[in-house]
Amino acid sequence: MECKWISCHEVFQSVVELSEHVRTAHVEPMSTHDVFVCLWEGCKVFDKPSLSHSWLSKHVNAHTGVKPFKCMISGCSMTFSSREGLARHVPSHFNDSKPAKRQRSENDSSPKKVMKKKKKKIRILRQAKPPAQGWSAACNYHLISLPFQKV
C-alpha cells in the first residue's frame, strides 16, 4: 500500500501501517494549525481548507482503506470508514422490505432547478420579443425581464 500524500509515496505492507503513517506523519503535524487540508493526490477535496482537525482525521480513512466501524449485528461482517456509513447501514437489517426507489424521468428536477429553468426561459422569451411600444414601455420591459434585481 502506497501513501499518496503529496511528495511522500512511502510503501507499507498493510492498511493499518499506512493508516498509522498518514495519521502520525501528515495529519497530526497539522494539529497546531488553524486550517486543515487533505493533500492526498487525486482527492476530490484536495487542498480545500477545513477548520476541523477531527474532520481530516476521519477523512483520511477513506484514502487509507481503514474501516474501524464494524456492524454490531450478529452475522454481519460489514465494516465502514465512518460512523455515518455504519449508521446508514444498520437500519437495513430491520427493514423487511425496502420501499421501491422513485424512478427519475429525464425532465424530473428539484423545485429549485425547475424555478431557475422557468426564470431563464422567461428572460430568453422577453429578450427575443421586446415590446414594440415607445421608450417608456421598453424601460419597463427591461426591469421586468431581470427578476430579483433592486431598482
| Model confidence pLDDT, tens digit, residues 75-90 | 999 998 888 889 999 9
Same-domain status, 81 and 129: no
Q: Would you say residue 144 has pLDDT above 80?
A: no
Both 123 and 61 in a single domain?
Answer: no
| Secondary structure letter of residue 42 according to DSSP | T
Question: Structural domain of residue 129, as residue ranges?
Answer: 111-144
Identify whether residues 81 and 125 lie together within a single domain.
Answer: no
Per-residue pLDDT at 11: 94
For 14-35, b/e burial (b = at least 16 CB within 10 A) is: eeeebbebbbeebbeeeeeeee
pLDDT tens per residue across span 15-39: 999 999 999 999 999 888 889 999 9
**What local confidence, expressed as pLDDT, does residue 79 receive?**
92
Three cell numbers, residue 50:
477545513
**In this structure, are 32 and 82 located in the same domain?**
yes
User: Are residues 69 and 130 part of one domain?
Assistant: no
pLDDT confidence of 151, banded at 50, 70, 90? very low
Q: Give me the pLDDT at residue 129, please.
A: 54
Residue 19 and residue 57 share a domain: yes
Is 23 domain-assigned?
Answer: yes
- Residue 143 confidence class, pLDDT cut points 50, 70, 90: very low
pTM passes above 0.85: no
Say if residue 73 is in the same domain as residue 33.
yes
- CATH at 41: 3.30.160.60
Alpha carbon distance 50, 43 (integer Å)? 14
123 domain-assigned: yes
pLDDT of residue 123: 66
Q: Are residues 82 and 49 in the same domain?
A: yes
Which residue has better confidence, 125 or 117? 117
Closest residue by Cα to residue 9 from 24, 20, 23, 22: 22
Helix (H, G, I), strand (E, B) or coil at 14: coil
Residue 77: inside a domain? yes
Q: Tell me the average pLDDT of the chain.
A: 78
21-27: which pairs have CB atoms within 8 A and are 24 or more residues apart?
22/60, 22/63, 22/64, 23/57, 23/60, 26/60, 27/53, 27/56, 27/57, 27/60
Residue 3 lies in a domain: no
Residue 151 domain-assigned (yes or no): no
Report pLDDT for 145. Answer: 43
**Would 100 be classed as within a structural domain?**
no
Residues 85, 126: one domain? no
| Cell numbers representing residue 115 in the block | 424555478
Q: Answer yes or no: do 57 and 22 share one domain.
A: yes
pLDDT (mean) for 146-150: 48
Domain count, the chain: 2
pLDDT at 149 over 50: no
Predicted local confidence at residue 106, as pLDDT: 56
pLDDT at 44 over 90: yes
Are 61 and 69 spatial neighbours (Cβ–Cβ below 8 Å)?
A: no
Whether 120 maps to a domain, the answer reads yes
The answer to the question of residue 68 being in a domain is yes
